[in-house]
Amino acid sequence: MDHDTFIGQVQARAHLDSRGSAEVATRATLETLGERIPASLADNLAAQLRREIGEHLRRVATAPDQPATGIRMDYGTFIDRVAERAGADRAKATHEARTVMELVGEATQGVTDKVRQSLDDELARVLFAGSTGGIT
């Protein structure tokens, strides 16, 4: 899936008012995911995405005394980081992150299963619920 199609789908499925908002949601979600999952998994996932999208998984800014990747974080912490990066409230950040992850799943082959396995159960359940589905 090319960059323009990906961002257009994020915009449409998340009901965002602009492509810029879709870019921000994508960046916020993938940068946070890049912090959460192991670097090797982030690189593998990024390699299956267009460069403009995949680079967000590799661009992680952390404090010098913190590990760059593989940081344990629960659902609340993950969504708070996405919300802060996106300038959104928690509900909006959750929906946008779910939308981005839905499209990442459509654009990649099999790697999202490994991503899901590397996450805590609650976080995986929320992130992989899809843009229109409920959370069970």
Full pLDDT tens readout for the chain, 136 residues = 899 999 999 999 999 999 999 999 999 999 999 999 988 899 999 999 999 999 999 876 444 455 556 788 899 999 999 999 999 999 999 999 999 999 999 999 788 899 999 999 999 999 999 988 665 4
CATH 1.10.490.110 assigned to domain 3-127? The reply is: yes
pTM above 0.75, yes or no: yes
Can you say how many angstroms the Cα of residue 61 is from the centroid of all Cα atoms in its chain? 15
Domain boundaries, the chain: 3-127
Give me the amino acid identity at 114: K
pLDDT score, position 63 = 42
Per DSSP, the three-state class of 52 is helix
- Sort 134 into a burial class: Cβ within 10 Å, 0-12 / 13-18 / 19+: exposed
Helices (H) and strands (E) in the chain, counts: 8, 0
What's the rounded Cα separation, in Å, for the pair 38 and 66?
14
In 3-state terms, the chain is what percent helix, strand and coil (to 5)?
A: 65, 0, 35
